Amino acid sequence: MFIIILFTLISCTQDEVSAPVTPPVAIDTSSAKTASAVILSMGTGFNLGNTFDLAQNPTTIETIRPIIDLYYSAGLRHIRIPVTWREGFSGNTLANTSGTVNYQHPRFVQLKAVIDYALQKKMIVVLNTHHEHWLKENYNGTPAHDSIFTALWRDIASYYKDYPYELVFELLNEPDGAFGDWTGGPTPNDQLALALTRHINYVGWKAVRETGGRNTSRVIMLSTNGQGNQSQIEEVFPDKASLPGGGADLYLAIQVHTYDPWSFCGENGSNNAWPGTSALVSGVTKVAAHAKLLGVPINYGEFGVGRAVNIAERNTDIVRSYYRTIRLAALTEGMSATFWDDRGWFGLIAKDGAGTYSFLFDIIPTVMAP
């Protein structure tokens, strides 16, 4: 019975993924840029981590504006804003259990203010769905889940459908759990997990495109499973047919993450596990080679080195070299690179006694130097 269900799900998913979606209205797309052009223009950016996705940092524009300004002054030209919509924040969520977004929610208003400010500075903004464990831990490809995820993205996309094309949608951060990971559930290469990952990307893509307006040609980012791991791009998207739209959507990008090796990058890692520059570059080069076969550009949406205890290890040339190596390897391949900054174990900025932010451990100035 399981084999029959698996075969049916994979077959249905493949059919749905390849199905074209007709734009509901004809709009002027003369100012729309292809995903390749947008990825190139993104260059280097940063994550506004543990803010709208996890209630550890303030969400007001007054507290976030100086952060954006600091990064902008260092030459970073895009911001990724992780957002958790249906859970967290002690139940004070942005969307209800049906996926309906509350546009009047104070945190949604604050989110809009941050997006608007970054766009005013001519930055590209990546908006996503982040810690959605309700979906990741329970997903089975049925309408019960698909309808909620569709409603969620329909509401997000509808609200922003007339926004500039510099606003990019990332459908689902780091699919894991039912989508496959290395923590006890299905493995990332499990065929059902791979099929489910393709399917949820299709569901979100379809929901966004069908809202019309600029969303018919807005850049949408897909994700790999195994928590977005770079190593999974070939398995999740083996060919053009596995992409939403069958490879015909010019406004499609793929986001991957890397914290490899975790023994070096993880919060409990050690500088003794430094893998060497060539190993880091090799991982990026492999992703780039497969992306060229797909004809889809890549954003390295998260990477970094964290330390929960041995914090002094981050203030070293070897850690600064890690950040610089990944960034330059990505840019050399025509990709964009987005540092993970959570102002915690992986923090790249810190406040002084006067409440002014500055860069931590000289990581960003070193990485961004010519």
Q: Would you list the domain boundaries of the chain?
A: 31-368
Residue 154, both tokens: 């329909």
Distance CA 257, CA 201 (A): 16
125 φ, ψ (degrees, to nearest 5):
-120, 130
Distance CA 194, CA 10 (A): 9
The pLDDT, as a whole number, for residue 329 is 98
The model's pTM is 0.92
Distance CA 100, CA 149 (A): 10
The residue behind tokens 């890549």 is 298
The pLDDT, as a whole number, for residue 14 is 37
Beta pairing partners, 136: none
Q: What is the pLDDT of residues 316-358, one digit of tens each?
A: 999 999 999 999 999 999 999 999 999 999 999 999 988 899 9
Helix pair angle (2-18, 191-209), 10° resolution: 30
Average pLDDT on 263-290 reads: 98
The pLDDT, as a whole number, for residue 120 is 98
Res. 165: pLDDT tops 80: yes
The pLDDT, as a whole number, for residue 3 is 40
**Using the 8-state DSSP alphabet, how is residue 229 labeled?**
B
Percent of the chain surpassing pLDDT 90: 90
Q: What is the largest CA-CA distance in the chain?
A: 64
The pLDDT, as a whole number, for residue 309 is 95
The pLDDT, as a whole number, for residue 30 is 53
Average pLDDT on 253-269 reads: 98
When the pLDDT of each residue in the chain is averaged and rounded to a whole number, the result is 93
Q: What is the pLDDT of residues 2-39, one digit of tens each?
A: 344 444 444 443 333 333 343 434 444 458 899 999 99
Beta strand pairing status for 167-170 and 44-47?
A: unpaired
The pLDDT, as a whole number, for residue 94 is 98
Beta pairing partners, 17: none
Average pLDDT on 57-80 reads: 98
String of DSSP letters for 267-306: TT--GGG---HHHHHHHHHHHHHHHHHHT--EEEEEE---
Distance CA 19, CA 125 (A): 28
328: left (phi over 0), alpha (psi -120 to 50) or beta: alpha
DSSP-H helix ranges across the chain: 2-18, 35-42, 61-73, 106-120, 133-136, 143-159, 191-209, 225-228, 233-236, 262-265, 277-294, 317-332, 363-368
**Using the 8-state DSSP alphabet, how is residue 307 labeled?**
-
- Residue whose C-alpha is closest to residue 77's, from 36, 29, 112, 125: 125
Report CA-CA distances (Å) from 211 to 162, 167, 191, 202: 10, 15, 31, 15
Beta pairing partners, 75: none
Average pLDDT on 242-263 reads: 98
Distance CA 123, CA 42 (A): 8
The pLDDT, as a whole number, for residue 6 is 45
Beta strand pairing status for 167-170 and 124-128?
A: parallel
Q: What is the pLDDT of residues 76-129, one digit of tens each?
A: 999 999 999 999 999 999 999 999 999 999 999 999 999 999 999 999 999 999
Average pLDDT on 150-176 reads: 98
The pLDDT, as a whole number, for residue 1 is 38
**Using the 8-state DSSP alphabet, how is residue 343 labeled?**
S
Out of 15-19, 145-149, 192-196, least confident range: 15-19
CATH-assigned architecture of domain 31-368:
Alpha-Beta Barrel (3.20)
Percent of the chain surpassing pLDDT 70: 92
Residues 153-157: contacts with CB within 8 Å, 24+ apart?
153/129, 153/204, 153/207, 153/208, 154/99, 154/207, 154/208, 154/210, 154/211, 155/95, 155/99, 155/100, 155/101, 156/85, 156/101, 156/127, 156/129, 157/207, 157/208, 157/211, 157/215
Q: What is the pLDDT of residues 233-252, one digit of tens each?
A: 999 999 999 999 999 999 99
The pLDDT, as a whole number, for residue 9 is 45
